[in-house]
Structure formats: structure tokens, C-alpha cells
Chain A
């Protein structure tokens, strides 16, 4: 058994965990992070990608609105390469209560959420597909965030400051001595090895899974995982975030993110964050609601559907689960439960992840006697250059005006491909993933399967959903990785190929009709008729460099 000693152990590799890790490391606190899957494998990698202006919560949840408005400006400043400046609109459709608009404006003023009413004509000029019968339109500072890139950027910055990141490590036990938690036992899911981590303090940043972790120490946290289902349309039907101007409910927002637009979302309580599925009724509801914003959207091509689980914290008798505040809650188990050595951070939004981390680390630093203040709101996170992330590379930046923008732009990858004349090297044509991107991602530490490559590069996330690139990526994986680990028997890459096809299948089945069904049949022709991957021999299980016990549910 390996052992490791650290000042602070962060459990959870989503936005909040990675944000806390960066905060700790910037304050000079020795720290490590464990995550049972890949970074962003949980809720962070399954959300719609909205950088909240706060507008969505001004009426119902003003505290959350204020937090979002402040953090929105901070994130634009510290991680511009992860955020696209799309702007947002709140529109009153014929189906909406007109009186809400006045309450909305007043609440924006009260909470400090920037808002400006624009003429309907102007809104329709910006977004030509918008319902021409909208009655009013309000511009806000919504944006689109790349949550994969942002989480990696935080983790990489933390590593540069000495922190450790351990993916595919699952906590199996919290070690408790009397009323103090002193560490954790983890299983390395790739080697099967047990790792004992002695920690001065533990931050439970596992979101919807926080109750499961707390229970290992005999503590009770009432997390209500709220499932949100989203549908990605195959192109950017809007370039602005578009919201219905009404109380938040199902299917009332469209977020343009990279090459697609995401329709969202539902909010359905689920008993277990690891077990849920997407029903045809949910998909139909989201499309039908989407018709109010974009007439005809239900006849456009949907790419896939997925669901994430919100880490909603219920500490009193909230009625409807949508009434649970969207703000976050820091649980100090010492004052709350009389057990020291661990805090849990639950609730919140992606947009407030940095604030949640700051608040959490303030308490931890105080307990550890560290007085260095938080600097995460002021220090810019430099784009990672080691991973295969979408950040533009420095030399190309000077050559193209578009790249001089501090914000992430859709055209960055295209500009890069044009600059290098590397069309011939595109492995995933839909998402413009080149061989160089892919090889860097395969070689990077912690990458265990093709789904990890997808989160790193967007491989397989475009219209063809892996129809061509799955084969190419598996074969390149074989050339770079299997040579070292594989001597005899079927290549592990074969198992990864089949695993990835199955993961894509789960994501697309809820939206398979029309052109997307046609595409899927072509993928079948490729993989069954031409390649016959169903007839390939299975790799033996212990040869597969893949987590054995992680069941990956829905995928983005």
C-alpha cells in the first residue's frame, strides 16, 4: 500500500474541487486532489456551459443572482480563454406572463445584475431565428463557458504551484480517530492498488455525491440530486444565450457553446446521483418548450441528449425542489456535527465555483493557521500548453486578428488549422481535432480511455458522433500506448473503441430520429459492415488500461 501525506486533501475533480486546489496551492498550502473518474467527469462535464449573468435568479433567489453577477466579471478577467463573450437575452414570449418583466427589471436593479432593455427589432436582428412574436427583450451579461478547459486550467495552475492531482482514485473509506477525520483510503482504479492519504484537513467537494462521502464518516448531509436533461442541437442556432423572461422552469434556455447550441433543462429529483436515465417525455418537453423561443426547433437536427445532477442542498423544508436555493452552502462539520478535520461544500453553480472555493479555503486556512489571503480573484490563469486543450497557441495568436481577442472564439481551431495548413491531419473533422491535439491528449498523464480524450479535445462530439474518429483515435491510441503495455492478445485499444461507441450510443439514443438517425445508421455501416468491430476478439480485462469499477452513466 502506498501512503501519502498532505496538508489538505480535496475530494472531487469538478470545478469546485479544482478551484479549491488552486486556491490552496496559491496560499502555499500543500494539497492533493482525488477524483474517482477523469477531471470534470461528474456534473461539471455535464452542464449546459452557461456563464450566468445572474438574471435567471434575480426574482427567485437574489443572493445567488448577486453572487453570479460578481463572479461573472471575475471569471471573464481571470480565465478569458475559457469563456466566450456571447451576451445573453431574456425575452418575453407570447406564452409568458407579461407582468414578470417589470419584476425582473426591478430585481436586476436591486441585485446589481447588469441589464438593458433593447428593442424587439434589435433582438431579432441579433438572433434571426428567435420567435418574431416576442414582446420585450432584455440584454444581460450571460456567456458561454468551456467547463472542461476551465477545470483543467485550474488543476494545471495548482500543479504548477505544487499540488497533486490523482484521477481514477476512488475514496473507499474516511479514516476517523475519535471526533477527528485524519485521512482517507483510496483505490487506484487502474492498478487496483490501495493508497492511504494522511491529511490535516479534507475538503469534500463532491457535489451531488457529498452525502455519500459524508456518510463514510458517519455524517449526514441532505443532498437532493436534481437531474437536469439537456439536448445539443447540431449547430449554433443562436449565437447569444437566450432565456425566457419568466420564473425558471423546464426547457427555458438555449446556450450556444462551441459548435452547438444546448437546449435546457429539466429539474427532476433522483434518489441516487449514479442511477438515472433520460425519458422520451423529457426530450419532447424540452423541444416543445424550445418552440416558444425558436419556432421550428423541434424539427431541427438534435445531436444527443445528456443529463447532469445538481448538488442541491436541502437544509429546511423547501417544497418543490426547484425552490431549493441555488446558492451554495459551506458545512463546517466541526461546529455542525462535532467532527473536525473536514468541511463539505454543496449547492452553488459553475459560475460561483471560485467563490465557493475561496469561502471553503478561508475556513480551512484559518483552521490550519495560514494567514495568506485568497488571490484567485486577481491572478489570471495562464492557458495550458501541455494538454490538448482548445487554447490557442502563442505563435498563431499574433498572426490573426481574431486571436488577439482575449476571449475564447469558435474560430480559434479553424484559424490554427489554416495557419498550419493541417487539413490533412484532422482526425475528427466535426470538431477540428488534429492528430497533434489527439496525440498530446493520449500522451498526457491520467488519460485512461477515449472518453477522456473526448473531454480533452471534443473528439466525437460533433454531428457524426464518432462515426469516423472513433476508429482513428483507437488506432492512434494503439500506436502510442499499447506498444508499451501490450504484448500478446487483443490490443486494449480495441476494448476502448467498443466502450466509446457504446458511450456515444447512450448519449444519442434519446434524440435519434430524422437526420441523426440516418447518421447513426451510417455509423453502423462503418463499424459493423466495413470494420466488423463486433467480431474482434475481446482484450483480457486486466490488460485494459481502463477503470474497472467506474460505471459511466450519461455522457455529454
Chain B
């Protein structure tokens, strides 16, 4: 049986799989491991690279960067993807708020202010425009969240903020903690009640309280409501270093939606090569711990990520490869040109713009501009020509191109 294959389980692969599943194509998602959702903040950053609003940036990008993924699919396709994404999150009772008109500035775990277009409602009270005094509260046991440091940096930017540590009730103590173990603690109402009482006692004149983004895996909006009731202040989450609990929530929500629509997500299967003829990909092989598996392909969506995700791989001789299907890659020619001298250089490092070039239908093309496979679309960080971390557009590009690539592939006539 020929099948619809999605390669990669990050935001772009999941969004693409959802589009395919809803079109009745029962996609099989093959991924080496958990996707990039588990590493990142869990917001949707459409454009934060300059002072423009996301909407302005989308409208103007084609003139300056005609090969940018946003330019390829068009602003309308981005909006369509956002509408679908918001409907998905609302149906799962984990709604995302915000939009394209302006970026909302949210505190980070370093006390910096980070622009995001869409954010889960559990982060909404972090919006700096809300004013008032903030209390930042965390736990000494959580190594990835330091309230005094966060509060000091917020204060340095003119926001009234104070940092405190809370105490884990004895009944809930563990030997070892990370964001996920905390999220499971917050799934327990008794734990929440105790933390809520501590927050009320510590609150002082604060009108809103920032906590690490670990407020439950099962029902985070319920946890926020519960803590608000107990503490008497507005509660908001601040993303932590990986593993990202908001990212895990997103993954779970997508997995449910895809499987309910007839698709399947298979983690632990790395696609290592493919084969085809007459501009059609016909077969891919995946490798798991036990064996190599052959998959006959009717259509495929490639969303394996860039350098971080593992879709692009480099070596010490300066070679840059696409790892799953060995597609042509657009990359800086010389290893000497890969990096800027400063780590935080606003221009970024050239190697991270490496990726697969596509036509307007997101089909992979070679250096001559000719399409490599008609039945393959490419989405997400694997796309060439942009450093989405510097643009602060990474999840936006993934979401929008994932949806577009899925829709295009669904409409393709075999």
C-alpha cells in the first residue's frame, strides 16, 4: 500500500500531518525522536527581529527577501495557519491568545523581555503592558528558574518586581526535580492548594505572579485558575530551559488531533534514505533499534528541521547534507564563512541559513531551479534562506509552512 508519510515530529511536521489527516489521507509521522516542541518556549513567534508588527513584516518581506518561506507561501497562508492553530488549541481547552497586530513582550527566565505574537493563555498575564508590581516565585529545587535574578533584571528595565522561593510541601518532596517532575506535581490539586496559599502569604502588593512554566501537563488552564483563586493575584507562566512543559503540551494536543483524524505518530523511527524515479519519491527507509523498515510512498512531507533538529548535517571538511532524502542543499560555500566572531551577533551565523530551497509550492528544487520530487513538500527549519532564531520567527515559520505544505500535498493529484 502506498502511503502518506510525514518525516519529522516538530511543529511543522505536526501541523502538516494535521492538514493531511483532515484531508482524509491518514498520514504516518516518522520521527527519530521527540521534535523541537520539547526544546522551545511554546509561544508562536511570527516576527520579532525588529520593531515592526508581525503583520507589517509579513506584508513587506517579499520585497526584501523573495525566497523567505513567508514570501513563498504568502501572508494569507500564514493567517490561515494561525486560524487553524487557534481553533485546535481552543478545542483542546488550552487556547492561544494574541495575533498579528502587535508583539506582546513577555518576561523570560533571565528577566529579559521577549516578543511573541501568540501565546498560551497561561502566559497572558505576563504581558508587560499590564503594569503593577510583579512577584516572581519559584523553587530552589528547580535548577532552571531563579526568581531573584529574574526580578533584578526586570527591575533594571523599570518594572517593579520581587523574587521569592516557595517551599515544596513535605508530602510531595522528591529526590530530583526538573520541569516535568514539577508539572506532574502541579497536576495534583492538593499540591496546587498548598502553593496557592504560599503565594497569597508572599503576595504583598503584587497584582500578578510569574511562575516557571511547569503548571501541569493535564489541565494547565485549570491549574492557573486554581492558583489565582487561592492567591488572589493573576498568575502567569515563564518558559524555562528544556524540557519545555508548554512544548510537551503542544505535542500531546497535536498527537491527539492527528490520531483522531486517522493519522499515526511513530517516534523512534529515523528516516535514513529514500529512492524515486521520474520526479517521484517512491520509497523511504526508516531505522529503529530493531530493524530497518521500508515504506512505500505516495506523497511525503519533509520536516526534519535544520541544524538543531538534525535535518541538516555538517562535517569537518565543510560538507552540508540533508539527512533523510539527500536533497540538494543551499549553504555557505566555505567553512571559514560559517560563523560571526560574536556569539550573540544580531546578524547570526551564516551556516544556520543552510537548507533546502523550494519553489512556491514548497517542493524541493536543485541549483538549476528544477523540482526534484513532485510528490514531496518541505516545511519548517529545513527550509533554506533564513535564520529564524535571529528573526524570532521560528515557530511561526514552522506553523505556517507546515500547514501550507500539508495543504499543498493533500491537494496534489497522484
Q: A501-B343, A518-B313, A529-B114 are in contact. List 6 more A-B contacts (CB 8 A).
A: A423-B175, A471-B144, A502-B342, A513-B318, A531-B109, A534-B344
Within 8 A of A (CB), among B138-187: 141, 143-144, 146, 148-149, 152-153, 156-157, 174-177
At the interface, is chain A mostly helix, strand, loop or mixed? helix
Stretch at the interface among A206-214, A242-250, A363-371, A519-527: A519-527
Bound Cα distance A471, B241 (Å): 9
Bound Cα distance A537, B313 (Å): 35
Bound Cα distance A150, B114 (Å): 44
Whether A517 contacts B390 by the Cβ 8 Å rule is no
Bound Cα distance A283, B113 (Å): 39
Q: Which of A504, A514, A522, A529 contacts B41 (CB 8 A)?
A: A529
Name the residue on A nearest B308 (C-beta).
A521
Name the residue on A nearest B244 (C-beta).
A530
Q: Which of A280, A518, A528 contacts B307 (CB 8 A)?
A: A518
Contacts of B39 in A (CB 8 A): 522, 525
Stretch at the interface among B16-24, B94-102, B332-340: B332-340
Contacts of B157 in A (CB 8 A): 537
Bound Cα distance A322, B335 (Å): 30
Check: B369 CB closer than 8 A to any chain A CB: no
B residues at A contact (CB < 8 Å): 39-41, 45, 108-114, 141, 143-144, 146, 148-149, 152-153, 156-157, 174-177, 239-242, 244, 306-308, 310, 313-318, 335-336, 338-339, 342-344, 346, 351-352, 389-390, 392, 394
Contacts of A475 in B (CB 8 A): 146, 148-149
Whether A536 contacts B343 by the Cβ 8 Å rule is no
Whether A509 contacts B177 by the Cβ 8 Å rule is no
Q: Which of B310, B335, B344 contacts A528 (CB 8 A)?
A: B344
Whether A535 contacts B114 by the Cβ 8 Å rule is yes
Contacts of A424 in B (CB 8 A): 141, 143, 174-177
Name the residue on B nearest A478 (C-beta).
B149
Whether B316 contacts A525 by the Cβ 8 Å rule is no
Check: A8 CB closer than 8 A to any chain B CB: no
Query: Given the interface contacts A489-B156, A514-B315, A517-B307, does A530 sit within 8 Å of B108 by beta carbon?
Result: yes
* Least Cβ–Cβ distance between A491 and chain B, in angstroms: 5
Q: Which of A423, A513, A533 contacts B316 (CB 8 A)?
A: A513
Check: A230 CB closer than 8 A to any chain B CB: no
Name the residue on A nearest B242 (C-beta).
A526
Contacts of A513 in B (CB 8 A): 314-316, 318, 335
* Least Cβ–Cβ distance between A282 and chain B, in angstroms: 12
Check: A482 CB closer than 8 A to any chain B CB: yes
Bound Cα distance A8, B6 (Å): 73
Query: Given the interface contacts A280-B336, A521-B306, does A530 sit within 8 Å of B156 by beta carbon?
Result: no
Query: Given the interface contacts A423-B175, A518-B307, does A491 sit within 8 Å of B152 by beta carbon?
Result: yes
Bound Cα distance A509, B315 (Å): 13
Q: What are 30 pairs between A and B in contact, CB < 8 Å?
A: A280-B336, A283-B316, A284-B316, A299-B315, A299-B316, A421-B175, A424-B143, A424-B177, A471-B110, A471-B144, A472-B144, A474-B149, A479-B148, A491-B149, A494-B110, A501-B344, A505-B343, A512-B338, A512-B339, A517-B307, A518-B310, A521-B306, A522-B39, A525-B40, A525-B389, A527-B343, A527-B344, A528-B390, A535-B112, A536-B112
Whether B153 contacts A491 by the Cβ 8 Å rule is yes
Contacts of B394 in A (CB 8 A): 529
Bitwise, A532-543 to B at CB < 8 A (1) or not (0) is 111111000000
Name the residue on B nearest A284 (C-beta).
B316
Whether A533 contacts B344 by the Cβ 8 Å rule is yes
